[in-house]
Amino acid sequence: MILQNRIFLYYNGVVNLEHLQLFRDMAASRSVSKAAGMNNLSQSAASQHLQELERQWNVKLFDRTRRPLELTPAGSLYYDFCKEVVRLYAQFRADLDQECGRAAKVCRVASIYSVGLSEMSALEQRFSSTFPKGELRVEYLRPERVYEAVLEDRADLGLVSYPESRRGLTVTPWREERMVVVTGPSHPFVGRESVAPKDLEGEDFVAFDDDLPISRDIKRFLKDAGVTVHQVVHFDNIQSMKEAVALGSGLSILPEPIVRVDVEQGRLSVTPLAAEGLARPLGILRAKKKKLNPAAEAFLQLLLR
């Protein structure tokens, strides 16, 4: 509360809405340079603003001995303040536009890469038909960054796999994607009706990075089946995994919608798993305290059809 009172005391010239958004992005990205780029500023200008805040308030907002940057207790207070003010202003503008008959026309979506690979083009076409005057802005991010984008009001909606409940977020189940065995077009599995988990024993395997939920799910599935594969390489994105499989590095287990185009092009082949229990859940994230603008609400309803 003391810090917030001092914020208002120094509001003239030191802090405005753009400054609040800048600091919010610094704290979220833990980087002055990244936040500067997100706000179309030079790194020097962003650094000078931070230094001016700390000079005026006689308090350190970041621990500069840590990399990446870490907030100090005072910095955490100011970060929470910035998030709330920016959120309230965005809500006010949305409410005002609606009151004046100026319905917001932009829906900002943060999505994991793999949803974009298989879905976004078709979704954009459907959105244009449903909401002709609307604009869909999509940013592709790693899963953790999608959560941050929605919480920091840099996105109206987030699309993730294996959605997690988190404070400040509403999570809506979207759908589940069947997982299949993916191979090159000349692999011995091609042409079979299905592949039993035991058939994967000892196979060269293209895996997801260990820190991803889908990786843990696949490993659990293989362990429960008593199967050990030979992991030859791992990636944090499905596109690289598909390329590795196509080049003959090994087989993989991937969501079926992700590889449909590759199968049609003859680059990859898919074979169903002769076992249940392996599917990738997708979910939609939105901020609990935020009212969606008409464009975002239209896109949400499109997803849930």
33 — pLDDT class (breaks 50, 70, 90): confident
| C-alpha distance across the termini of the chain, in Å | 45
Q: Which of 116-125, 213-222, 285-294 has the lowest mean pLDDT?
A: 116-125
Kindly report the backbone phi and psi dihedral angles of residue 57, in degrees, each rounded to the nearest multiple of 5, phi listed first. -95, -5
CA angle 158, 136, 80 (to 5 degrees): 45
Asked if the model's pLDDT at residue 207 lies above 90, the reply is yes
Same domain, 164 and 141: yes
Same domain, 89 and 106: no
Same domain, 116 and 233: no
Which of 177, 248, 253, 250 lies closest to 208, judged by CA? 253
Which of 209, 80, 98 lies closest to 143, judged by CA? 209
This model's pTM is above 0.75: no
In angstroms and rounded to an integer, the radius of gyration of the C-alpha atoms of the chain is 23
The count of C-alpha atoms lying within 13 angstroms of the C-alpha of 276, restricted to the half-sphere facing its C-beta, is 0
The count of domains in the chain is 3
115 — pLDDT class (breaks 50, 70, 90): confident
Same domain, 293 and 251: no
150 in Cβ contact with 284 (< 8 Å)? no
Same domain, 147 and 93: no
Digit-coded pLDDT (tens) for 65-86: 888 889 999 999 999 999 888 8
Strand 169-183 and strand 252-255: pairing? antiparallel
Residue 117, pLDDT score: 65
Domain containing residue 218: 177-279
Greater confidence (38 vs 127) lies with 127
290-304: buried (b, 16+ CB within 10 Å) or exposed (e) per residue?
Answer: bebbbbbbbbbebbe
- Residue 86, domain CATH: 1.10.10.10
CA distances from 144 to 31, 90, 151, 211, 303 (A): 16, 23, 11, 11, 21
Residue 83, pLDDT score: 86
Same domain, 53 and 89: yes
> Alpha-carbon distance 240 to 237, whole Å?
6
Same domain, 288 and 168: yes
Same domain, 93 and 106: no
DSSP conformation class of 161: E
> Alpha-carbon distance 131 to 181, whole Å?
38
Same domain, 162 and 298: yes
Residue 290, pLDDT score: 84
Helix (H, G, I), strand (E, B) or coil at 169: strand
103 — pLDDT class (breaks 50, 70, 90): low
Same domain, 286 and 270: no
- Residue 207, domain CATH: 3.40.190.10
Token duo for residue 146: 């999608």
Residue 97, pLDDT score: 73
Same domain, 80 and 128: no
DSSP conformation class of 208: E
Same domain, 265 and 187: yes
Find tokens 């895996």 and name the residue: 207
102 — pLDDT class (breaks 50, 70, 90): low
